[in-house]
Every structure is written in C-alpha cells, then in structure tokens.
Structure 1
Amino acid sequence: MLVVILYNNQTTKKILIEQTMKSEEAELSLIKDAMSENVRIISDISKRLYFDKMIEKIAFTSYKNYEELLADYNNYTKITDCLNDYYQEIASIKIYLENHTISNTANFIYADFMIRNEEWYRNTVKAGGNVYWSYVNDSLTKKKSLRLSRVLYTADMQQVGILVIVMQNKRTELPIANRKSKTLLAYNNKEIVHSNFKKENYHEIIDIIKEHDKKLFYGKVTYEGQESFLVMVRMQPDYSENFFTLASIGPYEQITKKVNQASMAEILPFLVCIAIAGCLIAAFSYHFSRQINQFRKTMHEAANGNFDTVLHLEGNDELSMLYEDLNVMIGDMQALMREVVAEQVQKEKLNSRQKEVEFKMLASQINPHFLYNTLETIRMKAIVNQQPEIAELAKMLAKIMRRNIQVGEKLVTLESELKLVEYYLKIQYYRFGDRIQSSILVDSEVDTESTRIMPLIIQPLVENAFVHGLEAVDSEGKLTIHVSCNTDIFICVEDNGCGISDKKLEEIMESLNDLETLDRTHIGVCNVNQRIKLQYGEDYGLTIETEEGNGTRVTLKIPVVNPS
C-alpha cells in the first residue's frame, strides 16, 4: 500500500505539472491573441494612412505663414477620427515630415537632424514600406512604449514621411500584471517590456529565453538556483522581422508542495484509517448522496430561472460551503438583473427627456430657410435704394439665421458663439440706440479659438436679458457678457434691468429641471440648462441671481473642451 501511495504521489506530480504548464500555455495564448488583434488593428490603420493626399500636401507645401498651415491641420481629421475610434488600442499617432516650414503638433512633427539619426528612424527608412516595430521612449510621456512605424510614399514612390502609431501600454501591461505566476513580455528577446515582478536586472531570465528560442516552449529550467518551469509563447506581427515573447516562470516546488504534504499525511495515519474506513464509508456515502441530490436539485432550479429556491445544507464541509456559495451567486445574479433593469429604465428616461428637449426647441422655431431668403431679399433692396443701415441690419440678422440653419449636434468654437452674440447686440443697438449699452469681456486666459462649446447656448440668455429685463428701462440700460476660466468655463450675462421677483424666480428654478412645467416665456433659459446637463452631466448648467428692480445675472458653467 505504501508503494501505491508513493506511486500515486509521483503520478499526481506529473499530471499536475503537465496540467499547470498546459494551463499557463493557454492563458499566455489568450494574451497573445488579444495582443495580435491589437497589432492587427494598428497595422490596418497604418494601411489606411499609407497613401493620403492631405498628408502629401502638408509634407510638400512650403508654408509662408502659420495661418495657412493651421488651416491644413484643421482640415485634416482622419488621425483624430482614428484616435477616437480606437482609443483603447492606440495611445497616439504621429507623422514625422522633413518639411522645415511646419510647426510641431501632437500629430505632425518636423523630423530634424537628431530625429533622423535615431535608431528607430533609420531602421524604419531601411525597412522601406514594411512595418517596423520598436520599443523606445515616447516623446510626450517620456516612457517606453511599443510602436509601429513605416515609411509613407506617394503613388510614384516618393517618400512623404514616417508614420508612427504608439500602442496603449495598458493593452499589454494589465493582462500580465493580473496574473499570479511570474510573467513577462520581451521584445526581440532582448528587452523586457512588461513584467509582474520586480528585479534589479533581468539578464538571467533573458538568457534563459534566448537559450530556448522557439515559437512555443514549455519545460524545466534552472532559475535563481532552483528547478523551475518555463512556458513561452511567441507573437510575430505580419511583414515584420521583430517579435514579442510572452513567458511565465515559477518554481516546481509551488506545484508539488501540496502533493508532497498530502502524501506525508496519508502515510502516517494509513493503518488507523484502514481500520475505520468501512464504518465511515456507509455514513459518508449516505450523507454525501443526500447533499449531492439537494445541490443538484437547486442547480436545476437555478438553471431553469427559478432563483427563489434558496435552501441551507447542514454541516461545515466543502459541499456545504459550495452550496452557500451557490446561494450567494443566485443572490448576486438577482441583484445584477435588478441593476440591469433599473439601468435600462434610466436610459429610456434619459432618451425620452432628451427627445422632449429637442421637440420643445423645434416647437419654438419658425422656418429658418424662409426667413433667411426673405432677409437676403430685403438686404439687396436696401442696397439698391441706397439704405446702408437697413442693408447692414438685414445682413447681420441673415448671419444669425444662417447659423440657426447650419447648427447641428457638433461642438463649435467659443469665438463663433461670441461672434453670433455680437451680431445680435448690433441689431439691438439699431433698435434701442444709446438707451442700452452692451459689452463682451473675455479674460486673457480663455482661448476662444480652441475652446469648444455647445451651439446656441449664449444668445438665448442675451435675448432673455433684453426681453425680460432691459426693454422696460428708459435710459442707461447696461448689458455685460463676461467669459472667464477657472478649471471650468464660466459665461456670465448680467443686466441692470427690472430684475425678477422672488416668486417668479422660484417658478423659473423649478421649471429648469422639469420640462413638463416649462414656462413658454422662459423656454430659452430652460432649454439651455437642459441641453448642458444632458451633454456634460448634473455638475454643469446655469444659475440665476436677481433682485427685483436691480437687474439679473445668469451664469453658465461648462467644462473646458479642446479639440483632440
């Protein structure tokens, strides 16, 4: 019997070691497949950018001024679109051009003498149009990252520049960091890209990997003075001589320790166990069979969707604990289903709320194309009849109407919104003259050209200030639009008009978040508030400060949004 136990011990060790290595190989293959998919996506994007007329234009144009260059930069959105679509796979896309008239941006970089002499740059040029994978420092993050680079050519094979696509580190780092076994990712079997264990140097393990340089390997090695298992999987991108190796290493002792302990525990009490085994078998079989049947019944009910069947098995053995875990799992599944239903209901409410906002905005409009065409006719008649003021007035109103026609869901620049308000104020000046003075103040730290905001969120507030505040003022009316930045963008519209009574202010504040009770006289303010909250969240919107007879201040709070 002792021989049987020892034989069983050795057999169990072999099986356990084989299973462990197979399991390690399977897990590394999953990481490899995910990484291969990421590499494929990056390679496909490089093909999409390979022959690009806009890149060729920027590469070969000798720019005489920054405005001309900026216009070409702004007109080229393909890189931004790729980054938005594949932000989980790609950290950045850069194009290095040998055009000294361009200015460096996040996407276009002048390849000066130092850059052209870097090893990765020279190897990319040497590879021609083929992809070249490297592991070098990123110019922005100053951290090493995996990147694809390739030469871009024109249709007649004239070199345009170097395309560089940087992979997101987390795509390869997180799967390795979450593993229990010591795992690493090596580049060309020369340099460690990621690992879930720290070492002063990795020379020993790099040498071991080089010694067993195969596409797939698992077996016994000597690492840190003890017998260890090593599992390696190689991933080589298409059309590239570079490759990546995923390796997992660990001591044999951690696999066989439990088996050895179990064997020692079996040998000592063996004689005692053999004497009482017969008595225990019958009792155990009955108890175990009863628990198994009950467990099977509960599992069957749960599989059929009946989650209300929750029973308790007596005892403290593993099966009882497993049964308790089953009950916990059933409870978690019920809670998850409730959360999913609640989340779906919340999404439906949000969509319904947004549709109501859009409907109420549309209901408050008239046909803008008809008005625009009519205004253009009026302007031309005024020019013919030598009435420049009427022509100018019609022209500004037409620009406002054109903006209303063209406005969509995309964000616009703060500068264009302020220009729209300026047209509106000029029109009101023709109406009120010196009776109402208006001004637009923008703090120096606010970049109106690059800051993006929702369209048509300032002009309704200015119009509201005239209609409900300043029209009743006989003289010395004053309207100020002040734009400032302190983490977020604040746009303040303040007038010294008649103000709002406390009761009326309370009604307006209640209607800001409830479109069902929306007052038609303040639909502009309420729609602006609703649109901001739907776009940016509940932390943003507008606030109203007023005192009856002393004017009103409406302040918009929105996040700073710059183009990618």
Structure 2
Amino acid sequence: MRVYKFNNLSLRNKLLIIYIFTVFIPITLTHIVFYHVTTNNVRNQKMNDLSLTVKEIANDFQTAIDDAVGISSMIYTDYELYNLLETKYTSTIDFIHAYHDYFGDISKEVSLYPSVHSIKLYTDNDTVIFAGGINKIDTLVKDSTWYKESELIRSSYPVLIRTVGDSGKHDMFSLIREMDNFVSKNSTQKILEINLESGLMSSIFHDVTFPGELYLVNDKGTIEYTTNSTINWSERKFPYDSVTLPGDKIIFEESYNLPYLNKWKVIAVTEEQVLLEDIKGSRNFILYLALINLVFPSLFIIYITSSLHMRILRILKHMRKVEDQNFELIEGVNYQDEIGELTHAFNRMASKIKRLIKEVYVADIQKKDLELQRKQAQLSALQSQINPHFLFNVLETIRMRSILKNEDETAKIIENIAKMLRKSFIWGKDWVTVDEEIYLIKCFLEIQHYRFDDKMQYQINIDPEASKCLIPNMSLIPFVENASIHGIEPIKGKGMISISIKRENDRLVFEVNDNGQGMEKNEYEQLLGSLEEVSSIGEHVGIKNVYYRLKLHYSNQFDFSIVSNKGIGTTVKIQVPFFEHKY
C-alpha cells in the first residue's frame, strides 16, 4: 500500500490543504455550529414556552373544577340541606317554609364562583316539591347518560361528566355527587349536580396562544373537549387514538391525579416546523455572514499564496536546469523575504559552480578513479583471507583417525578437502550459481559430519528456480561454517543445521538456521553494528568479508539480518536480487 507523506506533496497542494484546514473548515464548522446552536436554543425556548402554556391551561381547568368541588364539599357536609331533602313532609306548606329558610342561601353561592352556572338537587322523596332547583329522580333521570355513567363512583367522590346543555348537545360539564354523608338517616336517594358555565371550556382552551390543537382526554382515552374543529366531540364519543396527527408532531401532556380527575389529561399537539419559524428569518443572515467570512479571507490567502507559489516555482525551474549543467541566473527584483534570500543564494551558488567546475572537475575524476582502485584492492585483500585453523584441525583429525582406525572413509574425506581447496583458491571467478555454491557447502558439511559423527546433522532445501541464480563466489559458506563451528560444536547434544534457498518474486532468499548455543542479544547486536565499520576487519572476518562483498556487488539492494537466542540457536537471513544464469 502506498503511503502518502506531507513532504512529498507539491507546494500548491500544501497551500490548498492549509487553506482548507485553517480557513474553510473552521469557518464552515463555526457557522454550522452557530446555526445549530441558535436553532436548538430557539427550539428549546419555544418548547419551554409551549409547555408553560399547556400547564397554564391545565391549571385553569383544574381551578374551575376545584371551585365546583369546593361547593360540592360544602353542600355534601351541610346537615340542614341534607335534612331538607330527607324529611317526610306532611304538607306542602311545611316544605315551602323549609325550602325558603335554607335553599335560597345555597343559590347565592353560585354568584361567588364565575365558573359555576347552576346547582341542581335530585331526590326520590315524594313529599318535596320538585321546583326551584330540586328535581325528581324518576325513570327518565335514571335512564339518562350522566346518571348511568356516574352511578358506580359518585358515592365515593365527585364525578366530572358531560351533560346535555342548552344547545341540545353534550357540551356542558357537570359535577355529580351522591349526598349520602349522613348514612344513619339515609332513607331517600339524593344527588347533587353542579353545572359549569357553557363558555368556560372555550375561555380556557381558546383564549390562549397555542400553535396547534388542544385535547382534554378522560381516563378512558375519550376526547371530552378539543379545539380541533374537525372533531364533533359534543355529538359522540371520539377516541383520542383515532385522531390523525401530523408526521413531525410534538406532543405536550399534563396529567391529573385527583380522584375526580383521575388519569385525565390535557394534550397539546403542534408541528416541528412551527418551532423553527423564528429561525427562518435569520437563516439568510447566517448564510451571508458565512459567505463574507469565507470570501474575503480566501481572496487574501489566494493572493499571498500565489505570490509564494510562483516565486518558488521559478526557483525550482532554474534548479532543474542545473541538472543539465545549465547554471542560468534568476533575473528579477531581489526581495528581502526568505524566498528572496533563497533566490540570491541560488544565484551565488550557480556563479560559484560555474567558476569551480573547471577547477575541480578533473581533480574529482582522478580522485574517483583512485577510490575505485582502493576498493578493488580492498576486495582482493578480503578475498585472500583464509582461516588456516580449520584446515589444520581437519587434517589432524583425519590423520589421527587414520592411525587409530583402518577405515575407507579417509579417502572420501580427503577428496572433499581437495574439492574445497580447489574452489577456495579459484578467485578469478566472481560469480557462481547457487548449485556451485551448494556443492562447496555440501563438501564442508560432509567433512563436519565425518568429524562429529551423528552430533552434526544437516538438511538442505533448494527451490528449483533458485538453483541457477548467480551469486557472489563463496558468499554463503561462511555462515554455514559459523553455524557449525560456533553454534553446534560447543553444545553437548546433537545439532541440526538447516539451509533454505528459494525464490520470492524477483528476490533470492537464503536462510541458515542452527539449534546451537546462540548469542546474547547485545553480542549479535554488536556484531551487526560492527559491519558498518569499513576501516578495519577486526573480528568476525568471514561474516564481514561476505557483507562487504555483498555491499560492493549489490549496493543497497540486499537485506541482511541475524537473529540469535542464547541456548536456542541462530538464524541468518540474506535477500539479494534474483539474477538467473544464461547459458
């Protein structure tokens, strides 16, 4: 995967990136955030205002009902009124006197509460006169909707219910309550009905500013009142769940937990777009402000960056001419900024190069030639270093075993030594195939196997494609020698040397692995660091010899690594370009 670095980008792209990240994105994000914050603030303020409006409506409705409940509680606990309706009168005159003595005072309470329209009493006492606010509980009353719907709970607490109003529709709200406070003398049924003003609901729900529809819903989910003109709430029962609400609706709810309003709700429904009407006017202002904040800084930055870009491009153009040995000077005004100093420095450099090139060129060529000769001499010197200790040890081993044992193997081991000596002293051939190198390695390993018997085991795996690849002469065997001498020989148990040579795309990968004594981490790190010290060979002659020759042949196109663990073993891995031998 290609990795893009900032320093590899052109100056124009860098300036563009600087503009985008320091001007365009910050200003754009600032205005976007400003717009959203403003929108959210307006929306939250609107939501708060509408919520307060709904609470006000709910409180006004509750206040009106509380007035009626207060009157009902006063009448409910009035023993004299209770006795008026409970007494069995012997004559009409007796009831009339009792009625005028008390009920007239009850009617005066209505004027103190503007939300209450009238008070009615119902009884099944046949000795009273059914007039002046007192009504008979007959079959017609018992069959009425309000009587049936309040029958189960009006004896426990007041019941708010819709009754038939002056319009003939169920548009009047009444508070119904059973008057059974004094149970010991409860021989007749007595019911209190407090009717609320017909315009009360309209004044509560319509005289407020709410941009939507309002619903008063009872505990059964039925709409008792609504400002939605499409719903005939006074003519039939209309479930709230059947109302079609807008898609972007926002709903406010205020619930009641009072016994006489248990689970009743005031529900307000509005649309999302209503909340954002106030922000629409400022949207264009925000847009124009954003454009102004973008255009003027952008034009100024473009002017400055264009000047920098063009002047740097002019310097770059002349520097590219230097590659073709054209030392043309940069003409124009010498400004005092950094680019001007760079232009002046380039002109000085070009002039100095013109003057010195003739003086230095010939001497430099001679110096390079001497350096090349020195490298060649160093290579020859490196190739001429042979460690004689190994040959002495092998020959001494053969001699001693030949004396002590009468074995045919001696001839074979001497033959392998002869092959190695012939290959080692033929230095005129710089490049050999992998097969030729492996041939030499096998000779060495056979000798080691002869010396150490079963202690020294080895295996060689060669990719058929890699066998004809060209490599520098004797570039692999020093690592096999180190694996044997420094890795396997010092240990007490059996050792194994594994050699793998394979082709991976256009690379030849060589790997030597042994399970010998290994090295400490600081030891092989010091070895790797010493490979860069070209001035002297010092220790590890074989490894340094190979490393320097690989560097001379491949420059920086080869990879060399050593990984070692004390008591576990060492792995050497070399990767070089794949050059196939052509016959």
Q: Same fold (TM over 0.5)?
A: no
TM-score using structure 1 length: 0.41
TM-score using structure 2 length: 0.40
- Based on CA coordinates, which of the two structures has the bigger radius of gyration? 2
